[in-house]
Amino acid sequence: SAVISQKPSRDICQRGTSLTIQCQVDSQVTMMFWYRQQPGQSLTLIATANQGSEATYESGFVIDKFPISRPNLTFSTLTVSNMSPEDSSIYLCSARTGGITEAFFGQGTRLTVV
């Protein structure tokens, strides 16, 4: 298993600003992901964070809004840019070691945009 630490755990931000969320895994993992859980909704994949290259975004999510970095096999960041109240969600970092394995999750970042 992998232990995933996310920070900040929560934040309240002004609209129009940006927030960067950090994700640290305690061991090297093959894949890292960023999910969003809007109030009352399921977890939705934003993108796969690729080490050393651009992230792979799912439909409906774009790099300009959610830039992602992954400089090595244990760390990734997600930035929520030019925030609006609609971006208020829980953002979750996830990691998988590859193949048919379960994904592990960080504790999430609860973002409120006012």
Residues of the shown chain interacting with other proteins in the complex, contacts defined by CB under 8 A? 4, 6, 9, 31, 33, 40-45, 48, 58, 92, 94, 96, 99-100, 102-108
Q: Closest approach of Cβ 72 to other proteins, in Å?
A: 19
CB neighbour list of residue 53: distance below 8 Å, 6 or more residues apart: none
Q: Closest approach of Cβ 56 to other proteins, in Å?
A: 9
Distance CA 90, CA 112 (A): 9
User: Closer CB to other proteins, residue 56 or residue 72?
Assistant: 56
Look at strands 89-96 and 109-113 and give their pairing.
antiparallel
**β partners of residue 45:** 35
Q: Closest approach of Cβ 42 to other proteins, in Å?
A: 4
Distance CA 80, CA 19 (A): 5
User: Closer CB to other proteins, residue 40 or residue 85?
Assistant: 40
